[in-house]
């Protein structure tokens, strides 16, 4: 904005100040008027959906807009992601999804219905989703990962998951690639069915989202041997990290991201990233994430979110190709 000359009268100064204030207000909140939709490409009540609704409520309160969550599940997240990718690029529609839309699905699906690398862009990392390696204590004697390896030498262990290409399946294949674990994959149609059979002893073990598994570990119904990454879970501080458990070169975490159609103007994307960072810094949101055994991601910057996706894409692409995993 050009400099004001000293010769301007008070009226001119006042008019300039009013105009400048109006522009500043517009620039401060570039989101469109009306309802703003956050699409979650997964079923309701899952970890991503719960956090998306926390964000929607806090953003509505903070900004005065009406944020709603719309679940569009199917095809491993591709259905909802494609909907946003092809939608308006004006800040009215966002995608809240696990990074698998970018990091794993492109390797497992012949077509996603959109070009993940071109049609969507990460705006902010929001939360890291950690998995726990859990066993049924009545069926598995091992109390450490080293003991689990020894037990697997005597018999092939069965690992359940929510299905082929699910985080639990990918974590297992990754684990088998870096350690001598003798295990076979048992795919289920959903995480709840895998959990049911793990509790019932029909399978030996599984990688389960920490927030889901925590109450079962605390009650003694299941035993957690390790976190799937090199970070402990606050709700279960006694469960060792992968490295502490003796698992080298293993970091199997997934990250939930806020994404936008790639053509969304950068000022709008940057504005949303700043608002998300502010919401995540509030004590009540931190407490809610801790209750879910999830943690706010350490980086909110868009460029670093993009870099994170690139690194994880390379990591999971290698795992998927080596194991020959294809989506059903």
Q: What is the pTM of this model?
A: 0.82
Distance of CA 135 to CAs 139, 147, 240, Å? 8, 12, 14
Mean pLDDT of 43-47: 83
> β-strand 254-261 against 66-71: which pairing, if any?
unpaired
For residue 217, what pLDDT is reported?
A: 96
Residue whose token pair is 């076979």: 184
When the pLDDT of each residue in the chain is averaged and rounded to a whole number, the result is 88
Q: Enter the tokens of residue 283.
A: 């004590």
Mean pLDDT of 96-120: 92
pLDDT of residue 5 exceeding 60, the answer is: no
Instruction: Return d(Cα 298, Cα 283) in angstroms, integer.
Output: 16
Instruction: Return d(Cα 194, Cα 190) in angstroms, integer.
Output: 7
C-beta atoms surrounding 115 within 10 Å: 13
Mean pLDDT of 299-324: 86
Phi, psi of 323 (to 5 degrees): -90, -10
Confidence of residue 146 (pLDDT cuts 50, 70, 90): very high
C-beta atoms surrounding 166 within 10 Å: 21
Confidence of residue 28 (pLDDT cuts 50, 70, 90): confident
Smallest Cα–Cα separation from 194: which of 131, 244, 148, 124?
131
C-beta atoms surrounding 61 within 10 Å: 11
Distance of CA 6 to CAs 14, 72, 108, 174, Å? 13, 58, 66, 68
pLDDT of residue 185 exceeding 90, the answer is: yes
Percent of the chain with pLDDT over 90: 69
Instruction: Return d(Cα 225, Cα 240) in angstroms, integer.
Output: 7
For residue 295, what pLDDT is reported?
A: 65
pLDDT of residue 7 exceeding 70, the answer is: no
Asked whether this chain's domains 33-129+254-323 and 131-227 adopt the same fold, the reply is: yes
Higher pLDDT among residues 17 and 269, named by residue = 269
For residue 21, what pLDDT is reported?
A: 38
Q: Are 150 and 142 in contact (CB under 8 A)?
A: yes
pLDDT digits (tens, 9 = 90+) for 67-79: 999 999 988 899 9
Superfamily of domain 131-227: Periplasmic binding protein-like II (3.40.190.10)
pLDDT of residue 135 exceeding 70, the answer is: yes
pLDDT digits (tens, 9 = 90+) for 212-233: 899 999 999 999 999 998 888 8
Q: What DSSP assignment string belongs to 67-89? A: EEEEE---GGGHHHHHHHHTS-S
Confidence of residue 235 (pLDDT cuts 50, 70, 90): confident
The yes/no answer on whether domain 33-129+254-323 falls in CATH 3.40.50.11710 is no
Q: Where are the domains of the chain?
A: 33-129+254-323, 131-227
SS3 158: strand
Q: Are 136 and 298 in contact (CB under 8 A)?
A: no
Task: Name the least confident of 47-61, 72-86, 172-186, 303-317.
Answer: 303-317
Higher pLDDT among residues 305 and 183, named by residue = 183
Confidence of residue 26 (pLDDT cuts 50, 70, 90): very low
pLDDT digits (tens, 9 = 90+) for 241-286: 999 999 999 999 888 999 999 999 999 999 999 999 999 999 999 8
C-beta atoms surrounding 126 within 10 Å: 27
For residue 298, what pLDDT is reported?
A: 56
For residue 307, what pLDDT is reported?
A: 86
Instruction: Return d(Cα 179, Cα 177) in angstroms, integer.
Output: 6
pLDDT of residue 47 exceeding 90, the answer is: no
Mean pLDDT of 121-131: 89
For residue 156, what pLDDT is reported?
A: 98
For residue 3, what pLDDT is reported?
A: 38
Q: Is 301 exposed, middle or buried (0-12, 13-18, 19+ CB in 10 A)?
A: middle
For residue 190, what pLDDT is reported?
A: 82
Confidence of residue 300 (pLDDT cuts 50, 70, 90): low
Higher pLDDT among residues 140 and 163, named by residue = 140
Q: Are 39 and 46 in contact (CB under 8 A)?
A: no
Instruction: Return d(Cα 52, Cα 79) in angstroms, integer.
Output: 17
């Amino acid at each position: 904005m050009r400099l004001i000359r000293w010769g301007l009268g008070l009226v001119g100064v006042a008019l300039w100040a009013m105009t400048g204030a109006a522009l500043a207000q517009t620039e401060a909140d570039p989101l469109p008027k009306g309802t703003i939709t956050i699409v979650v490409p997964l079923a309701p009540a899952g970890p991503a959906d719960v956090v998306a609704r926390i964000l929607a409520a806090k953003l509505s309160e903070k900004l005065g807009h009406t944020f709603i969550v719309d679940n569009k599940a199917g095809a491993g997240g591709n259905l909802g992601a494609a909907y946003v990718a092809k939608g308006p690029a004006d800040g009215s529609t966002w995608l809240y999804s696990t990074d698998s839309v970018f990091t794993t699905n492109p390797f497992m699906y012949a077509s996603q219905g959109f070009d993940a690398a071109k049609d969507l862009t990460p705006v902010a990392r929001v939360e890291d989703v950690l998995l726990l390696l859990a066993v049924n204590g009545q069926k598995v004697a091992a109390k450490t990962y080293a003991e689990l390896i020894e037990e697997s030498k005597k018999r092939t262990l069965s690992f359940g998951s929510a299905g082929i290409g699910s985080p639990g399946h990918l974590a297992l294949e990754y684990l088998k690639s870096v350690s001598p674990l003798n295990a076979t994959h048992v795919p289920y149609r959903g995480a709840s069915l895998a959990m049911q059979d793990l509790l019932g002893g029909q399978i030996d073990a599984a990688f389960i989202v920490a927030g889901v598994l925590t109450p079962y570990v605390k009650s003694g119904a299941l035993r957690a041997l390790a976190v799937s990454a090199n970070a402990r879970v606050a709700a279960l501080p006694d469960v060792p990290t992968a490295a502490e458990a003796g698992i080298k070169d293993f970091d199997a975490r997934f990250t939930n991201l806020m994404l936008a159609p790639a053509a969304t103007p950068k000022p709008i994307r940057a504005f949303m990233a700043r608002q998300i960072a502010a919401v995540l810094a509030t004590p009540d949101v931190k407490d809610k994430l801790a209750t879910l055994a999830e943690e706010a991601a350490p980086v909110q910057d868009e460029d670093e979110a993009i870099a994170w996706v690139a690194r994880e894409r390379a990591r999971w692409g290698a795992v998927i190709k080596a194991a020959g995993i294809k989506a059903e």
